Every structure is written in C-alpha cells, then in structure tokens.
Amino acid sequence: MESVGFYKKVSPTGIAAVQINDKTVHSFFKLKKNGSRGCSITEQDRENFLKVRMILWDEISMTEKRKFSRALRNLRDNVTQLRELNVR
C-alpha cells in the first residue's frame, strides 16, 4: 500500500486519483463498481487498513452518500478492530 506517513489519500474518480498520486475510493475500500454488496478484502488488506490513522478523501462533496456509507461499512465489516470507527 502506498501511503505517506499514517494517512491515505483517496478520490472518487480515476483522474482525481492520478492528480493526488494515490487510489480511487473503489480501489482502496475494495468496493464493487456495480454497487452490489460484498468485497474481496484479504488479510493483507486488513493489516494495511489498521496502519492508516487518517483517510484524506479528496472531492468528498462529489461523492454519493451511498458510496461513502459502503466504504465505511466495508471497513467495519471486515476489520474487527475498526468496529468502533469514528467519523469526523
């Protein structure tokens, strides 16, 4: 996982992700593009999620509420230690 320090940058579109030199929301949170439930999070992904202390979500105002909710649900459902995740 390419990360600077303990934060991760994500963006809702591929073009914006290239501009911030990091990943799309779909790629980082392992979201399926068609909106269906489920994901393919590996043990390595879980370990990587635990290393991140802050997620910088570029262009968050352009992100659908549903996509934001799915991303948080994937984290909570797949990383036991994040069940108490706070969003500010």
- How many whole angstroms from its chain centre is CA 51? 13
pTM: 0.67
Domain count, the chain: 1
Are 50 and 81 a contacting pair, CB within 8 Å?
A: yes
Question: Is 55 part of any domain?
Answer: yes
Domain annotation covers residue 63 = yes
Q: Which long-range contacts (CB under 8 A, 24 or more apart) does 40-47 make?
A: 41/74, 41/78, 41/79, 45/78, 46/78, 46/79
Q: Is residue 11 part of a domain?
A: yes
Q: Is residue 2 part of a domain?
A: no
Tokens read off for 49: 């999620």
Sequential pLDDT tens for the chain (88 residues): 454 457 888 898 889 889 988 888 888 887 776 655 556 677 888 777 778 778 888 888 888 888 888 888 877 776 665 555 555 5
**Is 88 a domain residue?**
no
What range defines the domain where residue 37 resides?
A: 7-82
